[in-house]
Every structure is written in C-alpha cells, then in structure tokens.
Structure 1
Amino acid sequence: MDQRTGSTFEELVAEGAAVPTEGWDFSWFEGRATEARPSWGYARSAGGRLARADAALDIQTGGGEVLDMSLRTAATARPGLLAATEGWPPNVAKATALLRPHGVVVVAAADDGPLPFADEAFDLVLSRHPVQPHWAEVARVLRPGGTYFAQHVGPGSVFELVEYFLGPLPQEARTARHPDRERADAEAAGLEIAGLRAERLRMEFHDIAAVVHFLRKVIWLVPGFTVEEYEPQLRALHKRMETEGPFVAHSTRHLLDARKPHG
C-alpha cells in the first residue's frame, strides 16, 4: 500500500489505467508527477507569433490545448486564416470543439502523410511535440519569408523510465531527434535556421498510477505498453517508489525557429 495515498498497488494501477488519454491536457498529473518547463515558454511565444501572422497552421495539435492557450495569449490580434491538423480521431473531435470558438478549422490528417493544403498557404506553421517533423511538407506550405516555430522532443527524452521497462537501448535510439540532425534535415528541405535552443528538464513520478497513465498517453515511449504485460516491472517500481521516493527522469526539448527564404 502507498502510505501517502492509502491506496494499494492494484488500486493505483487501476486508476492510472482508467484515465482518458485524449488530448494534451496533463492536469490530472497535478500532485502525482512534475516536469520542469522550458525557460522559453512555448505557448506564450507562439501566441506572439500568432498575433503577427496572416495565415497560420498548427501541425499535430492533439486536443488543441496548446494552440488554445497560445491564441488566448494573442488576445484579439490573430491570423485571418487559422487551421490545425490532427491524426487521432478522438483528438480531432476534442480539438474541433475546443478550437471552433477561435475560428480554427481542424483537419483530420495522418501524422506521417502529406499536409492537405496548397503550396505557400501559410506564413506561420506551429507544432508542439510532433511525432516526426516532415520538413519537405513544412517548406512546401510555407510562403517565402514564412516561419516554422516549434517545440520538439529531444534525444533520449525520459529514457530513465523507458529503459526501466525496455532495458538498455542502442546508441542510435539515444541520438534520434537530436537538434543538430533536425537542423540538417530542415536545411536540406530549403529552410534556414534562425534560432535553436535546447534544454534538459527534471521529471518526477510520485506514484505508480502516474507512470501507468503517462505510458498510456505517450504511447511511443514503451510501444504496446499494457498493465498486464508489464505488471512485474510496475509492481517492483511501486515498491521502489514506496521506499525510495519519486522516480526521477529527464525530458529533453528544443525550440526551433526556421524560415523559408525569399526567392
């Protein structure tokens, strides 16, 4: 039993397994897990970009929560054309409901497919934590002089937790998503990097319910994760957290400011 909550392992696991995973609202984790935030304040910074844009696209918007926050910081100044894409049907419905009052058109589009928009349709493209940036498509839909402004997940993010369940991963997995590699890929697609910042941030998981929900929500960390398959590891981790305190991991993030040159 977790002495802090009075809940048993079974009760905590059941709770983490029952929480809906739609969208990118992480408020359920309050009091159960923490993650330091990047110093640049992505939503606020994106709001400043939106206030100056004419036509903007948010790629892989999730449930629309981050774009909603950014638009609220932009106040009344916002683009005349606003669109967003999302590939998971439950998130498409959630984002549509949340973003419709802002005048955002949410389009269902596969994360790994072409963007369903004309060439040079937008002067601003945003994305927070895309599964995989498609640089050629970003460059195609940007107008000359337009900007791709995004926060990406960096290399080896939360690998302390990932490797607890999967064991040691090869070096190639640790260097995937490296900002230097993404800089090269963006430049190969014809974009110019105006800014690139990276940070490593502390995370703490305070109970096993938070671990279960996190791995269900961020599905690419431990592919195919289920409570049943990983019950022995979960039980051992629960006992470790009871005696040693929070499980500590580190996320990595980088902020990209890329521009499509004129002519």
Structure 2
Amino acid sequence: MDTPTHSERPFDELVREAEEADVSGWDFGWYAGRATEQRPSWGYQRLLAERLGQATAALDLQTGGGEVLAGALRLAERRPALSAATEGYPPNVLKATELLHPLGTAVVAAPDEPPFPFADGGFDLVTSRHPVRPYFGEIARVLAPGGMYFAQHVGPASVFELVEYFLGPLPEEVRRGRHPDDERAEAEAAGLAVADLRLERLRMEFFDIGAVVHFLRKVVWMVPGFTVEKYLPQLRALDEQIRAEGPFVAHSTRFLIEARKR
C-alpha cells in the first residue's frame, strides 16, 4: 500500500503537526515535499562567501538562526579576522550561537532597531539576508569609509497572494512597501553609493495546508497575529481548494543590493 501524500492526510492531522513543529531559525528543511520556492538567479550565499573572503571585519545583521552566514563562512576561501552577527529573537540567538561560534563568529543578542551595539566605522563589510527593515543610517555609521553593505532583501508585495487570501485586498501603499527604488533612495541619503540592485519575482507552491500554517507561524509578519483558531474557516476552505485544484501558488520578490560607503 502506498504511503499517502501530505495532501491526502486529514486536515486536523496536518494542522496539528504544523502547530507543533519548531519554527525557530531559517532552516526550511521541514517543507521538503510540502512546499517549494524558486531561488534568485544570483545565488546570495555564494556571493556572500566571496565577499567574506575579502573582508577584514564583517557584521551580519538579523542573522536568524545563522544558517545562511554559516554556510557562506564554510564556503569562503578565508574568513574575516573579526566576524560578528546580531539577532533579536531569543530562540534564534541560541541556534545562531551553536552554528556560528565554532566558525569564529560572535553572536550578539540585540534588537533589530537602532542603535546597533557597535562603534562607528568598525566594519568593512555589513551583510543581511531578508532584514525586517534595513536601517541605512546605522549601517552607514558602523561601516568604515569605503566599506560595503551587501544584502538580499524581501521586495514589494512578496507572497501577497497568500497574505491577501487571509487579510483581503491591501492598499497600494502597503503593496509598494520595500520597493527597491525607495530603499536605494534611503541608502543614498545615508551616504551609501548603490553599485548593484537587482529584483526578481519567484514562484512558490504550497502542497498542503500544514505547509501554509507552518509558514505563517514562522514568518510572523505576513499575517500579523495569525493563529489557526482565528483563521480556521479560511484554512478549511484553502485546504479544500488545494485538494481539489492542486498547489496554492504565490510569488515571492527578492532584490540584491550592494552599496559602498562614500
């Protein structure tokens, strides 16, 4: 007898499993066979490894569980003499410490918001993957003259097919949030010269309702205040839709930004 796919399992079982699963860190291995996301063509981790290999003092902001930075440090031809990372979510601080300390990187438990707990001009490389918000004034402050900010940001209206399924249509100013043109202007106003800016729209597929629940628990800013109880009717309807029509399709947006301190 064939093992049933996730989408063939009962709704309550899928939801219970997703509610009990760990959502700390940025390891997405839980989604194997349950959801997919197209990756940007530029390969952020590989490019990050190249820049780490050229840096003397590097800082990674909002590092999550440290998974991306750890992978890049392992790929780098050499590691910076000084390497630090910040994270504000306590469960992620623990995960990041376990991953990054053996690679010579200090993890600083610090809120995402300014001020950063570092002196002016202390780093020649500042990086971040998917920061909730990039504080360009602080980034410029902790960069040495000629230092580089290199990051992959979430772009405008990312995964909004899923967000608007639960919240309804959102106003245009919300949909435009995180637009790369706006962040370029903010970076330049802070004293950074943008050398590279690339935007891509990427396909995502959710194959069962458990993947949706886990995703909304993990990426908490997508549907603020999300709970299964609060959105139970919508979840049941979406479960029926996936079973009848196939995967729920959404699109993430990502942009690469590289900017040098003047």
TM-score over 0.5 for the pair:
yes
Letter in 2 for 1:244: E
Distance 1:46 1:131 in 2: 19
Match of residue 123 from structure 1: 124
Which SS does the other structure have where 1:157 is aligned?
coil
Match of residue 100 from structure 1: 101
Q: CA deviation at 1:3?
A: 6.6
CA offsets 1:193-245 (integer angstroms, 9 cap, x no match): 00000000000000000000000000000000000000000000000000000
Residue 69, structure 1, aligned to residue 62, structure 2: no
Q: CA deviation at 1:53?
A: 0.3
Which of 47, 52, 59 is the equivalent residue of 2:54? Answer: 52
Q: CA deviation at 1:4?
A: 5.5
Say if 1:3 and 1:242, in contact at 8 Å, map to a contact too: no
Q: CA deviation at 1:108?
A: 0.7
Residue 41, structure 1, aligned to residue 52, structure 2: no
Which SS does the other structure have where 1:131 is aligned?
coil
Which SS does the other structure have where 1:63 is aligned?
coil
Q: CA deviation at 1:113?
A: 2.7
Match of residue 17 from structure 1: 19
Quote the sequence identity (%).
Answer: 67
Which SS does the other structure have where 1:38 is aligned?
coil
What is the aligned residue count?
A: 259
CA 3–81 in structure 1, closer or farther in 2 if over 3 Å, else same: closer
Distance 2:6 2:165 in 1: 23
Match of residue 29 from structure 1: 31
CA 69–4 in structure 1, closer or farther in 2 if over 3 Å, else same: closer
Letter in 2 for 1:205: F
Distance 2:144 2:8 in 1: 57
Letter in 2 for 1:10: D
Match of residue 156 from structure 1: 157
CA offsets 1:11-64 (integer angstroms, 9 cap, x no match): 001111111111000011011000000000001100000000000000000000
Say if 2:201 and 2:251, in contact at 8 Å, map to a contact too: yes
Say if 1:148 and 1:259, in contact at 8 Å, map to a contact too: yes
CA offsets 1:126-164 (integer angstroms, 9 cap, x no match): 100000000000000000010000000000000000000
Which SS does the other structure have where 2:13 is aligned?
helix
Say if 1:60 and 1:127, in contact at 8 Å, map to a contact too: yes
Distance 2:103 2:170 in 1: 43
CA offsets 1:69-108 (integer angstroms, 9 cap, x no match): 1111104x11000000000011111100110111100001
Distance 1:245 1:258 in 2: 41
List structure 1 segments (4+ residues) > 3 angstroms apart after TM superposition: 2-6
TM-score by length of 1: 0.97
Q: Which runs of 5+ in 1 are unaligned?
A: none
Match of residue 181 from structure 2: 180
Which SS does the other structure have where 1:197 is aligned?
strand
Match of residue 200 from structure 1: 201
Distance 1:140 1:4 in 2: 48
Say if 1:199 and 1:252, in contact at 8 Å, map to a contact too: yes
Match of residue 144 from structure 2: 143
Which SS does the other structure have where 1:46 is aligned?
helix
